[in-house]
Amino acid sequence: MPSEESSRASAAAQASCRPFWLALPGLLWMTLFFLVPLLLVLAISFASRGTYGGILWEFTWANYLDLLHPLYGKILGQSLWYATLTTAICFVVGFPLAYVIARSPARWQPLWLLLVMLPFWTNFLVRTYAWMIILRQDGLANHLLLALGLISEPLELLYTPAAVVIGLVYGYLPFMVLPLYVAVERLDPALVEAAWDLYASRWAVWTRVVVPLTMPGIVGGCILVFIPSIGSFITPDLLGGARSMMIGNLIQHEYLVVRDWPLGSAVSFVLMAIVMAAVVLYYRQAGGADGSSEGR
Amino acid sequence: MATFSTSPVIASGDSHPATSPTLDIRAIVRRHGSVAAVDHVSFQVRRGEFFSILGPSGAGKTSVLRILAGFEEPDDGDVLIDGCSMLGVPPNRRPVNLVFQSYALFPHLTVCENVAFGLKMRRVAAALIDEQVRQVLAMVKLTGKEARKPAQLSGGEQQRVALARALVNKPAVVLLDEPLAALDQQLRQAMQVELKSIQEQAGLTCVCVTHHQEEAMMMSDRIAVMHQGRMWQVGTPREVYENPRTLFVSRFLGVSNELPGRLADAEGDAYFFQPADSELPGFPVPFHLDGSVGRPATWSLRPEHLRISRDRPITEDPVLPGVVEKVFFAGSETKYLIRVGRESRWEARATGARSSTFAPGDPVFLHWALDAGRVFVE
């Protein structure tokens, strides 16, 4: 009893002398350069566009009501679909990759992880240009498919939704692999063997043990892929063309081409709302799977 | 009478040929690179028998267990369970269940769900699962803890869940990997008794891997001593303890008081053992095997056979002088560390009133019954 009390007292003492001021520079930075501009954008989203692209400071819901137009709805839906598809493909491709890396000999793991991260060493824009070269009419992909005899004439790959999703999967796969790797690495191999020993088929081992126990990594990976995917700009801009517009392109279009800042701001906040809703949904999902309702 | 052997038991070394063994291991080999982790190991386990594989870490005993469970395939040899070869049969199709050293309980499932896992995977009817889980939890005294998660249980309770999770499937063989190693000493002793009684009550066939000789002796019907991938001796705990075939087995199964030396010429129907230490006189040993005379050998005696006295005893038995070096009082008995000759140190034990008789520095005489000692020829 006395030891418990003293440990509680020492914990309180630790809490009281925790150096909060160390967080000040970061807090100041975030307030000045993130929170203030964000509030500014929120304010603009309720203003209206002046004749020459200026901002008229009179409160209105008009920008948000404008977004109900089917054209904007299509772009929002398209973004949601591309981001969801990208997340799903990244998961299906990334989980086995992460599993194999986490179960490979310990001395090789840093090398595999380095290879996963290697693309980050080069600028994202340059890498996306590389994909344009690969996917265009006389590009590498078409040459390869022709040489293999799989197709008889070049496919139209660039400037299609498929190109956007390929580019997004390429860009964000490492964000899926890394949290999954950590989750699998923490998974005790004996648990997999125990399930196998207890008559579970390979599929049952996967669904009953591996997936539930790596759920934090799965949720983390999905969020890390979904968020940048839905808001991405460069990939749909360079690989997608006009038909595969995403929210990011719409925002850029409204701000810089149409010079309708209030509408652009409203689109930005709708994007934030979608992301937040998605994150909450993911966490709910994970909480449910982790609970005791499973099994029985 | 003493016997000796310098070669390990290779195939058919089983002194108890079973009429219908549940488990029949035939000369299995498992290589890791150029090293044979398991080197032609053969043994048989009868229905309802508690069989332990005892050996130091790295002896290959865990490899044997993993081969039985199906996680590893032998490079050579065969594993038969109830007469059927298990080669190429994956773990989920084998009628065996493993109790892991770390328990490997599923942390996201409750006690009940953990225990029900195997039955559920075999698609047993839900009502039947409930009934069987309830029974087995009662057997391991975990009734009332069904809804707990493994993290909410003590080490001993986790151990019982791990056991229950295997038992509920009624496997032909229960495999135990260092089942009590993670428990503290007191709990471990209580669980030894309990595990043994559950095993007898349920008529389980068990193969247990352990490095703990006392645990193996207390729980097992038979013990196999394993070292460097090979099985050196298989027998009942008493046989293995009292008639070790090799010096390694003798040392691993308890304290072995030893003297290096050589066998000298026979005198009457006994041989003489001449210690290498010239300070010590030769003494008779009951050893008769041709061709061993003159060869280097090690003489060994269990401490419980060693008697200590202050004055030279009047006896026909062998007597050696010694000096008490250390005294360890351990409650029910007192252990003495006694220097014999120049550098040999022996352990002797005394119980009851005699225990306080000697102090460090006391010169004493050690004697033992002629046939208690054993000679291992190198």
Ranges of each domain in chain A: 71-289
Q: What is the DSSP letter of B297?
A: E
Residue with tokens 């038909």: A243
- Of B276, B277, B233, B275, give the one whose Cα is nearest residue B252: B233
Residue-level pLDDT, tens digit, chain B, 378 residues: 344 444 444 333 344 444 568 899 999 999 988 888 999 999 999 999 999 999 998 889 999 999 999 999 999 999 999 999 999 999 999 999 999 999 999 999 999 999 999 999 999 999 999 999 999 999 999 999 999 999 999 999 999 999 999 999 999 999 999 998 888 888 888 889 999 999 998 899 999 999 999 899 999 999 999 999 999 999 999 999 988 989 999 999 989 999 999 888 766 666 788 899 888 888 888 765 556 777 888 999 999 999 998 888 888 888 999 999 999 888 788 889 999 988 899 999 887 665 457 889 999 999 999 888 888 887
Mean pLDDT to the nearest integer, A7-16:
56
Tens-place pLDDT, residues A182-194: 999 999 999 999 9
Whether the pLDDT of residue A294 is over 70: the answer is no
Domains of chain B: 23-251 (3.40.50.300), 255-377 (2.40.50.140)
Nearest CA in chain A to B147: A292
Whether the pLDDT of residue A292 is over 60: the answer is no
* CATH no. of A71-289: 1.10.3720.10
Tens-place pLDDT, residues A33-65: 999 999 999 999 999 988 887 888 889 999 999
Rounded Cα distance between B25 and B11, Å, is 9
Q: Of all helices (H) and strands (E), which one includes residue A126?
A: helix A124-135
Its pTM stands at 0.80
Tens-place pLDDT, residues A110-140: 999 999 999 888 888 999 999 999 999 888 9
CB atoms within 10 A of CB A103: 13
Phi, psi dihedral angles at B82 (to 5 degrees): 50, 40
Contacts of B100 in chain A (CB under 8 A): 190, 193-194
Where does chain B have alpha helices with state H? 61-69, 111-121, 126-139, 155-167, 185-202, 213-219, 237-242, 247-252
What is the CB-side half-sphere exposure of residue A241 using CA atoms within 13 A?
11
Tell which of A187, A188, A198, A202 to mutate to test the B interface (max B CBs under 10 Å). A198
Quote the Cα angle for B180-A191-A283, to 5°: 130
**A147 to chain B, closest Cα gap in Å:** 42
Residue with tokens 């860009």: A171
Rounded Cα distance between B18 and A153, Å, is 73
- Contact indicator for B26, B77 with CB cutoff of 8 Å: yes
pLDDT of residue B182: 83
Burial degree of A241 (CB within 10 A; 0-12, 13-18, 19+): middle
Residue with tokens 């550098």: B343
pLDDT > 90: what percent of chain A?
A: 63
For the beta sheet containing B222-227, the strands, ordered from the edge strand earlier in sequence to the opposite edge, are B96-99, B173-177, B206-210, B50-54, B222-227, B230-235
CB contact under 8 A, A199 and B122: yes
Nearest to B121 among A204, A213, A290 (CB): A204
- With cut-offs at 50, 70 and 90, classify the pLDDT of residue A287: low
pLDDT of residue B268: 63
Burial call A152-187: b when 16+ CB within 10 Å, e when fewer: eeeeebbbbbbbbbbbbbbbbbbbbbbbbbbbbbeb
DSSP count for chain B of H helices, then E strands: 8, 20
- With cut-offs at 50, 70 and 90, classify the pLDDT of residue A149: confident
Contacts of A294 in chain B (CB under 8 A): 108-109, 113
Residue with tokens 């209580």: B190
